[in-house]
Structure 1
């Protein structure tokens, strides 16, 4: 995965979308087509994908009209159909309507002790063939506010920080209430929190107003050491706070007991094993550099750690995924520390700062 960077200073969503679509038109078009192929391999027709994408886009337009306008402007500038870009932005919602959606395997560890700067790290695991390139985008949603985020071309946001001292990690979840009915895209919820929230309470408030059609955990952390995972699903929103010792871990299953009763993750998911691994290695991570923290995430297993995913080449392409990104948030300095690869490579390659 190649990481591209872009800085936009405009506060106008139409102009911002136009800038992205003009600069990265080939990538926007290419990723949209790759996702359509992926959805087809999972059993969805183009008509079904378009229907979910358009329902989700209309829900987005009602909930955050600026983000819908940005998506449309990006599509127009890239020379592709608006619904195709909307389908990438709503790819979690489209996947919720698949007969057998499968899922990525992401692991997040946040240490936010009282009186100290938060320390975070996450792996982002996905299908490498869907993400030949991705975007690190520094943007200005309003005068006086900066957002830095990592996302796929066509998606409004994913993992990021803002200049108010707030950051968001992202883990997909699966619930029996998920469906292809549409709903506000969860990637847009992450983006709006970054655009507007100064506090954890405000992030919760924003998330609570979104009617979603698919499930996700947004782990929000702030410079004052507030941290909680916002578990979103069509069945409701749960707020899972950090433990008293400041630790907050998340993989790909619900931690809230009520929502966990509707858990619907893939049977072959390693989410429980990865969560147990995070608990085992967390004591070694505090106080390290971002690269050192990433290495410590692997523990003594190194490259063989359960958090370092490798594609299973014995499975069909649409069932293969690996660790494409290791990323940490510096909410104090509004920065992302990142490596396009698994965490065990951090020692040799280091993490770049955006």
Structure 2
């Protein structure tokens, strides 16, 4: 995965989208096509993907019109039909029409002790075939406010920080209430929290106003109020706070007891194994520089750690899962520390800062 950077200073969403589409048009065209092919392989033909996407676009337009305008302007500038770009932003909602994947995405570890800046790290696991390119975007959603985020071309947001001292990590979840109804994209919820929320309470309030059709955990961290995972599902929103010891871990199963009753993550998923690994190594993580933290995150297993996901080349592309990114949030300095690779690779290569 090749990471590209973009800094936009306009607060106008259409101008920002136009800049995105103009600068990265060829990549946006390529990635939208890759996703349509991926949906088809999973039994979601273009017509059905479009139907779900259009419902999701309407929900987004009602809930966050500026993000809908940004997406449309990006598509226009890139020379791509608007719904196809929106389909990448709503890919979680479209994928809810398929059977739950054999794997999930991402392992997140947050240490947020009272009175100290949070220390965070997560892996982002996905199919390398779908993300030959991705984006680090610094943007200005409103005057005097900065957001820095990692995302896919076409998706409004994913993992990031803002200048108010708030950050968001992202993990997919699966629930029996998920459907093809096509509601507000969970990626847009992550983005709007970064754009507008200064506090954990504000993040929860924003998320609670969004009707969703697919499940996801957004782990929100702040410099002075700890951390909580916002577990979003059509069945409801649960707020899972960090423990009394300051730790909050998340992989791809629900932690809230009520929502866990409808959890449909596959039994052979590595979610529980990765969660157990995070519990095992967490005591070694605090107080370390990013590269040292990545090494400690692997623990004694090193490159064989469960959180270092590597694709099985013997499987079809849509079943090849890999850790494409290791990333931490520095909410005190509005910065992202990242490596396009697994934690063991991050420990060896060292992190870059955005």
If the length of structure 2 is used for normalisation, what is the TM-score?
0.99
SS at structure 2 position matched to 1:145: coil
Aligned partner of 2:11 in structure 1 is 11
2:264 is the counterpart of 1:238: no
1:262-317 per-residue CA deviation (whole Å, 9 max, x = no partner) reads 00112321000100000000000000001111111110101000000011122211
2:182 is the counterpart of 1:194: no
SS at structure 2 position matched to 1:264: coil
Contact 2:112 2:226 in 1 (8 A): yes
Contact 2:106 2:122 in 1 (8 A): yes
State how 1:172-211 maps to structure 2 within 5 Å: 172-211=172-211
Contact 2:104 2:173 in 1 (8 A): no
Aligned equivalents of 2:147, 2:102: Cα separation in 1: 31
Count of equivalent residues: 354
SS at structure 2 position matched to 1:17: helix
- How far residue 100 of structure 1 moved from its aligned partner, in angstroms, is 4.9
Aligned partner of 1:160 in structure 2 is 160
State how 1:98-137 maps to structure 2 within 5 Å: 98-137=98-137
SS at structure 2 position matched to 1:136: strand
Aligned partner of 2:223 in structure 1 is 223
CA RMSD of superposed structures (Å): 0.8
Any gaps of 5 or more consecutive residues in structure 2? none
For the structure 1 residues 100 and 215, does the alpha-carbon distance in structure 2 shift closer, same or farther, using more than 3 Å as the test? closer
Contact 2:112 2:246 in 1 (8 A): yes
- How far residue 113 of structure 1 moved from its aligned partner, in angstroms, is 0.5
State how 1:16-165 maps to structure 2 within 5 Å: 16-165=16-165
Deviates more, 1:201-210 or 1:285-294: 285-294
If the length of structure 1 is used for normalisation, what is the TM-score?
0.99
Aligned equivalents of 1:107, 1:195: Cα separation in 2: 24
For the structure 1 residues 103 and 187, does the alpha-carbon distance in structure 2 shift closer, same or farther, using more than 3 Å as the test? farther
Contact 1:39 1:95 in 2 (8 A): yes
- How far residue 99 of structure 1 moved from its aligned partner, in angstroms, is 3.8
Contact 1:292 1:346 in 2 (8 A): no
State how 1:258-297 maps to structure 2 within 5 Å: 258-297=258-297
Any gaps of 5 or more consecutive residues in structure 1? none
Contact 2:61 2:67 in 1 (8 A): yes
Aligned partner of 1:298 in structure 2 is 298
Contact 2:138 2:147 in 1 (8 A): yes
1:300-353 per-residue CA deviation (whole Å, 9 max, x = no partner) reads 101000000011122211111100000000000000000000000122210000
- How far residue 104 of structure 1 moved from its aligned partner, in angstroms, is 3.1
Deviates more, 1:289-298 or 1:273-282: 289-298
For the structure 1 residues 331 and 18, does the alpha-carbon distance in structure 2 shift closer, same or farther, using more than 3 Å as the test? same
- How far residue 4 of structure 1 moved from its aligned partner, in angstroms, is 0.2
Contact 1:43 1:99 in 2 (8 A): no
SS at structure 2 position matched to 1:124: strand
Aligned equivalents of 2:283, 2:20: Cα separation in 1: 41
Contact 1:107 1:250 in 2 (8 A): yes
SS at structure 2 position matched to 1:275: helix
Aligned equivalents of 2:144, 2:102: Cα separation in 1: 40
Aligned equivalents of 1:110, 1:268: Cα separation in 2: 25
SS at structure 1 position matched to 2:140: strand
Contact 1:42 1:100 in 2 (8 A): no
